[in-house]
Structure 1
């Protein structure tokens, strides 16, 4: 999934694939007078992955986190891996072999044999190029 065109910042939100999730998020933001300026979404198994750009990304992120939604900031590289021993180790070892330093890493969802991971590195462009393109969200 690509970042909304022309946007430097984004918020990635992982939600269950259930009716009303997008309406809930939109409602939370409108209550705080935050405008959604760009949105992209896709299904990944039983999850919805939304990429948002808003009129106030910092405030929007705090609102979403306060509501216990799984959300990460714009600089995170988000990808899926098999949820099994060694899968994450394989990714971080690949990064290490290519001289990448991991700054932050979060497993933001696990379900049905898949883990969704958000990571920031000192060179996210290189990190992205090392991953299977089909795994990127």
Structure 2
């Protein structure tokens, strides 16, 4: 149920993101979702790709500072209050959300959101016990 996310430390200067995306393209790696948090000097790019192990190695070989993190992909009811319901479930279990971002793909009547939480295995268990879909890594990589 866990999804491997690639995190890359990027200097905030012209061309770095272009070099990174070209590196992935040259290795035939497809980006499924991404998020970037930046400051004036650097940014952290978080990526979900179709081949996380290959992406990690390609970026490392190209001189990027890269790490892998386990996250979860949650299928959220796509209607007003759908995300609030997920937040209530996690809050009720006292599971802290470090960050989240959406995937552009949708399943029928569901939005897909990536969550980084403190207690990953507990989050998976509590979400599933409430009938909330948690996607397998292979499902997300194949979107």
Q: Could you tell me the TM-score, scaled by structure 2's length?
A: 0.49
Match of 1:129 among 116, 125, 129: 125
1:76 match: secondary structure = strand
**Where does the alignment leave 5 or more consecutive residues of structure 2 unmatched?**
7-23, 30-48, 61-67, 136-143
Structure 1 or 2, whichever has the larger Rg, is 2
Q: What is the CA RMSD across the aligned residues, in angstroms?
A: 3.6
**Count of aligned pairs between the two proteins:** 91
Q: Which residue of 1 aligns with 2:82?
A: 87
Structure with greater proportional strand content: 2
Q: Which residue of 1 aligns with 2:25?
A: 28
Question: For each residue in 1:8-39, what CA deviation from the matched residue of structure 2 results, as whole angstroms up to 9, or x when unmatched?
Answer: xx348xxxxxxxxxxxxxx71427xx9xxxxx
User: Larger RCO: Structure 1 or Structure 2 (Cα < 8 Å, ≥ 6 residues apart)?
Assistant: 2
Question: For each residue in 1:34-69, what CA deviation from the matched residue of structure 2 results, as whole angstroms up to 9, or x when unmatched?
Answer: 9xxxxxxxxxxxxxx946322625828xxxxxxxxx
1:136 match: secondary structure = strand
Contact 1:11 1:57 in 2 (8 A): no
